[in-house]
Each structure stands twice: as structure tokens, then as C-alpha cells.
Amino acid sequence: MKLSSTFQRRITDVYGPDGSVWLRRLPALLRVAEERWEIRLQEPFSLSYNYVAPALREDGGRAVLKAGFPSRETRNEIAALRHFDGHGSARLIDADPERGLLLLERIEPGTALVALHDDDAATAIAAAVMRALSRPPDGAYPFPTVAGWAARFTAAPTDARGPLPSRLVAAAEAHFQELLASSGEAVVLHGDLHHENVLDAGGGAWVSIDPKGVIGERAYEAGALLRNPLPGIVSWPDLPRILRRRVDRLSEEMGIDRARIIGWGVAQAVLSAFWSYEDHGRGWEPAIAVAASLEALT
């Protein structure tokens, strides 16, 4: 099995020596999946942090196999897919949480929202997916919370934040504090709903993939869309105008005050930069650039 050096580096950056062991075991894991679900794997898609490949089922049906490092994040994703149950999301056919294996329905044609050049239309589509996903937790699974994500960031010592601008870190902390204290109804959120994670399901339908699974208010969901697609968005001409239009459209489509959408956008962009620095020591600059543009809208 030939795996790109970029994919391997991402895995070892995040999971260290355990990630190296997982990479060595990956071929055997894929054989287990093929035998368990009677599928035949094809060439993988472009890989980021999981091994994802189209699969042909014994009955001729088409599916997708996703193999990820068996972690809390993988279990969260499985639980979120079960919770959404196809409402605004790809359906989970089956899963093996202990091995980090997911068998998913194949979304076709599967074109990602990032390919849509009309940004206003793309924002409206993403908002519709957000509305479809919005379902209260049923208590069946202990999802992480937005408050928990924020606490880990705000409790981090100054040196752990590395080169992140102190002005924007302080702004993010303030937004987290204010927005969490005044949050509305808690629902299970996708948690990473951006342009690469919304796919064309045909017939005018669009669905999400790769949920993080986190509990928070609906307004939080808009944050990932505002800062993406990264890193390219930072080179777009007149970025403040584009972000302002996105905020206005999301506010209109979701019935949420634009100040909350901007606040969550800033807080999340800085949090995303923090995670990039924490995991890789690099790649934090684009999210910070978006945070600065969003903060200027307040």
C-alpha cells in the first residue's frame, strides 16, 4: 500500500508513535473491513486524516469505507452519524468503533460545495443543511460540548498558544465567555460544517459528511463555514465584503442575530488556529487572518 508522505505526517503529527503503529496495521484493518462487510475496496480518495475509499458491496451496491485512528473523535463521529440518521447527513450503514471503521452510504454525484462558484448560493445551501442537522441530544451518547472545547483553549498557558496574536486570543476568549453565558437551546452540531464537508446528493439535495459531533447552540455551526475554504479564502479579493455577505445570509436563513454569528466565527477561527499550532506547529496563519477580518465586522 502506497500512502503519501503528507498523509503519514499528518497521522504521526497528531497521534505520535501510536499513529505510526496504526499506519503499519492499516492494510490488515482494510482486509478486516472487506471480509466483515463483504465489500471490495477501490482506489482511495484524496486522504487527509483518515483512509477513505469507495467500495463495491456484494449485492452490487456502492458504499464508502472510512478507516480512522480509533479515538474519541472517531467514536464521536459514529455517534453523530447515528444521531442525525440521514437528516442532513450521509447515512451510516455500520461501524466498528474499536477498530475505527465506518461503512457509509455513497453520496452521488458527491460534488463538494466548494465547487460552487456562487458564494451566496453556497451559503444558502449550507444553511439548509445546518437546519436539517439541528436535533436536540437524546442522552444516548456523551458528546463533547462547545463549552468544553472553549475551556481547553482558554485554560492553555500563554506559551502553548505560540505565535497567535494576543489581541485576537483575547477577543476569542471574550466571545466564548459572552456567547456561552447567553447560549440558546443545545443541539447536536456537526462541528466542522465547511465547503468540503457538504456534498451534492442529487435532485437538489445536499448532505454533510465527517461530523465532529459536539453539543452547543445552533449559531455555533456557522463558524466553520465563515473561515473556509482554507487556506484559499484569505487570498480572495475584498474578503471583508464576502464575510459580511455570508454573515447576513446566514443570519437571514437561520433566524440568528448576526452579532452571534460573527462572535462565534471569531472564536472558532482562533480556536482552529490554536489546534493547528498545537497539532502541527504550523498552518495557523489563514484562520487567524479570517479571525481578524471577522473581528473588524463587530
Residues classed as catalytic: 192
| Amino acid making up residue 217 | E
201 contact partners, CB below 8 Å, separation of at least 6: 107, 108, 110, 207
**Whether 297 contacts 240, CB under 8 Å:** yes
| Start-end of H helices in 50-165 | 72-84, 119-133, 146-154
CA dihedral 213, 216, 217, 223 (to 10 degrees): -60
d(Cα 75, Cα 77) in Å, to the nearest integer? 5
Q: Is the preceding omega at residue 163 within 30 degrees of 0, hence cis?
A: no
Q: How far apart are the first and last CA of the chain?
A: 50
Whole-angstrom CA distances from 269 to 5, 119, 192, 228, 274 are 27, 19, 11, 10, 9
Task: Give, in order, the Cα–Cα distances in Å from 92 to each of 28, 41, 63, 134, 239.
Answer: 22, 17, 10, 18, 37
